[in-house]
Structure 1
Amino acid sequence: MKVESQFFEDYELDYTRKTLGRTITETDIVMHAGQTGDFFPHHMDAEWCKEQSFERRIAHGTLIFSVAIGQTASEINPEAISKGYDRLRFINPVFIGDTIHTTVTISEKEDHKNPGYGQVTEHVEVFNQDDKIVLACDHLLVVKRKESK
């Protein structure tokens, strides 16, 4: 895990980083169902899924979100605080055996109500092994300035 101080002024628009991949397993899905209580047949019932348009079990969107954000946590900035996530979308299903990777792009920088900080938006996109997008969202960060305005 890389720990590096990065201040608001250090963030560059359009800077992109890409994570390594991670394969989603049946164990991931079963454990996530147990942790969340989401035992919907889309995730747990292979026979029911055969009758649906996707024809096989799909991973929980919240599982893919959790794994993707975990993938991005290889870089820790002690000068930034996560404010949350906006515009979260589950775009395409993820199946058992799919390998996902995450791309983070600095998409916005703006002033914050506290003059000692700025707000940075990281656009997060998750892709499967075929480079098909499966999830997108915006991560909002409140980041300390080098010098107060």
Structure 2
Amino acid sequence: MEQAIYYEDYEIGSVRESIGRTITETDIVMHAGQTGDFFPHHLDKEFAKTTAFGKRIAHGTLTFSIGVGLTANVINPAAFSYGYDRLRFIGPVFIGDTIHTKVTIKEKKDHKKNPDMGVVTEALEVINQDGRVVLACEHLLMCEKKK
């Protein structure tokens, strides 16, 4: 779906949540192949037994990618991603965990160099099936202002 959402349309404090997605062993293997991160924490069941988590964990970058992807449900021609700040891997994600993403509009400010644009900061929390936040970051969204 495509919908123009302008800077003025975003309301501080508004919240939206994504659907859930279960992390599979295939997700982890595919991500390892795509990134070259073959650390045994993700792929070696016996090694993982010796870690603090006791079993294999998903890559933090996999959790980030899927968590962000879950929020991509509207194509907004009036905005684009300006980047991510304050990314933290707070807790492990295991094979079989189901995650979803909560997005809260945190801040709005004028763009310093372009008066026709504003920056919206979205606080993203990736949450597992037990209600625990496993990843948090801020998404900066560059938005057109209404003319």
Normalised TM-score (structure 1): 0.96
**One-letter code aligned to 2:71:** T
1:126 match = 126
The aligned counterpart of 1:141 is: 141
1:3-38 Cα shifts (integer Å, max 9, x gaps): 111111111001100000000000000000000000
**Structure 1 runs, 4 residues or longer, greater than 3 Å off:** none
Which residue of 1 is the match for residue 117 of structure 2?
Answer: 117
Letter in 1 for 2:83: G
* Map of 2:66 onto structure 1: 67
Map 1:26-41; keep pairs closer than 5 Å: 26-41=25-40
Aligned-residue sequence identity (percent) comes to 64
Give the aligned partner of residue 57 of structure 1: 56
- Counting matched residue pairs gives 146
Q: CA RMSD in A?
A: 0.6
SS at 1:48's partner residue? Answer: helix
TM-score (norm 2): 0.97
* Uncovered stretches (5+) of structure 1, i.e. residues with no partner: none
The equivalent residue for 2:13 is 14
Runs of at least 5 residues in structure 2 that lack an aligned partner in the other structure? none
Q: Distance in 2 between matches of 1:122 and 1:77?
A: 15
SS in 2 for 1:73: coil
Corresponding residue number in structure 2 for 1:81: 80
